[in-house]
Structure 1
Amino acid sequence: MATKSKSINIIYLKTLLVSVFAIWTFCNELAYSSQEHLDCDIPFSSFLDKMKAKALNQGISATIVANVVSNTKNLEEVIKLDRSQKAFRLSFKDFSDKSVNEYRLLNGRKYMKKYQALFESIWNESGIPPEVIIAFWGMETDYGMVQGNFHTLSALGTLANDCRRSEFFELQYLAAMKLVENNMLDPMSSIGAWAGEFGQIQMLPSEILAFGSDGDGDGKVQLDKSPEDAILTAAKLIMSKGWTPRKVWFEEVIVSEEFQWREAGLGRSRPIKKWAQLGIEPRQASFHAEDIHTQATLVLPQGWKGPKFLAYPNFDIFMKWNDSFLYSTTAAYFANRINGADPYLSEGPSDILNTYQMVELQEILNALGYDVGKIDGILGAKTRQSVRIIQINLGFPADSWPTIELLNYLKVYLS
């Protein structure tokens, strides 16, 4: 009977995999045929001619257009980096240890004092605490020390001609032309990240057009050279994303042993009063009486054995700044540390699966009918959600963190 059941499972799995492959092939062919009609991934000179026409049609001066286009080159390395993004294959522990180091903490506190008057003005106007801006500034460029080494116009042009996100980056490339026209970007010397962000807080051209601000009063917006300009511009960007003035964003907590881990995770928010009833309490303080009805989510960036945080509504702004869960939790934690919080507690969380193991897990989950999104070896939101569901189904702690034990169990389960 067991042999028959096993055979049925193998036949079912093979049939499912054949079906998945057939659908994948059809979708690829459909995508390929659709791309034939897209005006992207064309010879770079043809792309530049196309962008010239669009820029002139938007009223950008012919002199500026010619200057920008003549300084735009195709950068093959940008496409390679766009496909890899290795930083987001790290665990929270590894990424936060690397990002929230003593150098950044010491310098962050130093800059809080140096630009105290500007930070106080921002606080009075918007209720954004300095440590939040400091965290983004430090995470993005080490306070302006590491702004990238890719020619900005060439990076944007390369991505605009790549079919993956051509429409988005065409808009950014045209916005960059307007920055050149406004003397906010040097077409020859401006450098930044491979994805086209530049300046001390690494913003895209469209964001700079909308929020670029003169923080030092010299009549110019120079985000690559002026810390004050970068600080004020960051504040304007954060405000635009919906920051709630004078409210907390992220708080480390202690969780009772009886807690059901399936209650954790983004999208499962509860009032603070309810979390307290479930045995959750702040690690270094106590809940404020005025916040007991505030909604919050328990997040476990590295599973139930790792650090535990309550994410408040203002944490959404971190996710809007960068939609990587890893980046956002690290930046929010960084802001806490700048403000004097202790390093997080941890019981020795399981290491992150390596790229090959993560791909293997994604393929298994995909074959079982779970939506993991793109099979890329990266622990994204859809993979986390799929892991949580199968953990619940199998009786594992449902913390959305894939372990080698879970992977090995699934491999045996399918054998």
Structure 2
Amino acid sequence: MIIQIVVRLCLVLSVVAAGGLPAHAQSDANFQKFLQSLWPDAQAMGVSRRTFDEATRGLKFNQSLPDLVIPGKPKEAPRGQAEFERTPAQYLSESSLARLTAQGQKLATEHKATLAAIQKRFGVPPPVVLAIWGRETNYGNVKLPYNTIEVLAAQAYMGRRKEMFRRELLLAMKILEEQHVAFKDMKASWAGAMGHTQFLPTDFLKYAVDQDGDGHRDIWTSVPDSLGSAASQLLAKGWDRGKRWGFEVRLPANVDCSIAEPDTKMTVAEWIKRGYAPLTHKPTREELGEEASLFLPAGLKGPAFLTLKNFYVFKGYNFADLYALFVGHLSDRIAGGKNFATPWGKIEQARSDYIETIQRHLTKAGFYSDKIDGKAGMKTRSALGAWQKAAGLPLDCWPSRALAEQMQAAR
């Protein structure tokens, strides 16, 4: 027994003598060192030492979060957005929209006074505010699993976008300093989007409002503050009061899907003159003079839309095209509108690496000059259509796996 004790003691002493610590202990020590390195910047932002210590005391590095780059751990593919990993028909499923519509209409009655006050203050109609809430957290029914400081600290320490999350972490501490929420109640998604309306700390400090008048901007437990904050952000992004986001149209027989991108604009009257017939909304005289662009979320294999300025305001809240369409369509449904008039065609969503192959091919061919990001956005679909026309191929403006494989083989 004495010999065993001596051997263990020697091992411990050898580790200490070598200046080493067990791997997990060293990792914890490095994480704590990183946290303490934040203090000067936190202090410069007006965060007190007390708040800083309360936020960082006992904090552990959560290595289970997505999008971390940990030495020695196999690299994982970046966590994608549902808006870019599902087909439009999957993302805008009728079952989901019908459920959110019914619930949104009930909540419109329940929060009628609050929504009226928000519309008076910010000019954003109740159905739009409710649609944002429904899309972001299922009207608050999604239980956010993480503490904001925990996830932002992990992402700032070993995330793919360290500098961005470092700033968000410091701003989250500032929110705690201003006592809008208690540390234990500061819940977020894995990427630090907080509360009912999924604000990063940057957005919170810019746009969150105290709609219920209790002295705090609380997007975690206060429905009035949450909805008012969503409307506040939309207005700040350029919400056009009293205007629509867009409407569905029937395409003419000779449609060129390569013009379905934001920079190709005409008045609504001109689009109609060219055969783009409104299906779900009769434009007003004022709307006929507004500029609109064509939006084909599934290329030529699904519904088509003329989008107005407020569609792009939705994209300021979340840049994904399908997000903007979901919120716009859901708001119409809550207000009493119907489902899409045109059915979705049968298409598959290509993986991001296939989309990147297509983007690189289109870039080399001179048809695409935007980011190589593996996301089949409007500019990618438009560039693909232009390439298909030039190559004498069938025109559909939809980036498929088969097309990516053809491009790869040709290269």
TM (normalized to structure 2)?
A: 0.82
Q: How far is the alpha carbon of 1:365 from its aligned partner? A: 4.4
Counterpart pick for 2:384 among 383, 387, 394: 387
Contact 1:365-1:372 at 8 Å conserved across structures:
no
Find the counterpart in structure 1 of residue 256 from structure 2: 260
Report deviation, 1:379.
2.3
Q: Which moved more, 1:108-117 or 1:82-91?
A: 82-91
Q: Residue 402 of structure 1 aligns with which residue?
A: 399
Q: Which whole-Å deviations, capped at 9, do the CAs of 1:261-295 have from their partners, x for residues lacking one?
A: 22222221111111011101210232211122201
Are 1:193 and 2:189 counterparts? Answer: yes
CA contact (8 A) 2:147 2:188 kept: yes
Q: Distance in 2 between matches of 1:393 and 1:225?
A: 55
The CA distance in 2 between the partners of 1:64 and 1:334, in whole Å, is 40
CA–CA distance in 2 between the matches of 1:160 and 1:408?
A: 37
Give the secondary structure class of the aligned counterpart of 1:78.
coil
- 1:184 corresponds to 2:180: yes
Question: More displaced, 348-357 or 88-97?
Answer: 348-357
Which residue, 267, 281, 286 being the options, matches 1:285?
A: 281
Does the aligned pair in 1 maintain the 2:318–2:324 contact within 8 Å? yes
Matching residue within 349, 356, 363 for 1:352: 349
Contact 2:152-2:165 at 8 Å conserved across structures: yes
| Contact 2:257–2:382 (CA under 8 A) maintained in structure 1 | no
How many Å separate the matches in 2 of 1:142 and 1:109? 13
- Give 1:316-335 correspondences, 5 Å limit: 316-335=312-331
- What's the offset of the Cα at 1:371? 4.8
SS in 2 for 1:296: strand
- Deviation for aligned residue 1:86: 4.9
**Is residue 84 from structure 1 mapped to residue 79 from structure 2 by the alignment?**
yes
> What pairs up with 1:19-98 in 2 under 5 angstroms?
43-70=30-57, 72-80=59-67, 83-87=78-82, 88-97=84-93
1:55 aligned partner, one-letter code: A
Asked whether the 8 Å contact 2:356–2:372 carries over to 1, the reply is no
Deviation at 1:244, TM superposition (A): 0.8
Q: Which segment drifts farther, 378-387 or 334-343?
A: 378-387
When Rg is computed on C-alpha atoms for both structures, the one with the higher figure is 2
Q: Letter of the aligned partner of 2:54 in structure 1?
A: N
Identical aligned residues as a percent? 28
Amino acid of the residue matched to residue 350 of structure 1? I
Q: Give distance in 1, aligned partners of 2:156 and 2:94.
A: 31
- How far 1:355 moved relative to its partner? 4.9
| Secondary structure at the counterpart of residue 78 of structure 2 | helix
User: How far apart are the structure 1 equivalents of 2:284 and 2:399?
Assistant: 34
CA–CA distance in structure 2, aligned partners of residues 396 and 252 of structure 1: 27
Tell me which amino acid in the other structure corresponds to 2:49.
A
State the one-letter code of the partner of 2:130: I
Unmatched segments (≥5 aa) in structure 2: 1-28, 69-76
Pairing of 1:162-311 with structure 2 (within 5 A):
162=158, 164-311=160-307
Tell me whether 189-198 or 131-140 shows the greater mean CA deviation: 189-198
Structure-2 change in CA distance of 1:179 and 1:400 (3 Å): same
Cα distance, 1:106 vs. partner? 0.9
Task: Name the amino acid aligned to 2:67.
Answer: K
**Which amino acid is the alignment partner of residue 371 of structure 2?**
G
Instruction: List gaps (5 residues or longer) in structure 1.
Output: 1-41
Q: CA deviation at 1:230?
A: 0.7
TM-score, normalised to structure 1's length?
Answer: 0.81
CA distance in 1, matches of 2:408, 2:200: 43
How much has 1:319 moved relative to structure 2?
A: 0.6
Structure 2 residue corresponding to 1:109, chosen from 96, 105, 110: 105
The Cα RMSD (Å) is 2.6
Residue deviations 1:128-163, cap 9 Å, x none?
111111111001111111142122101111222346
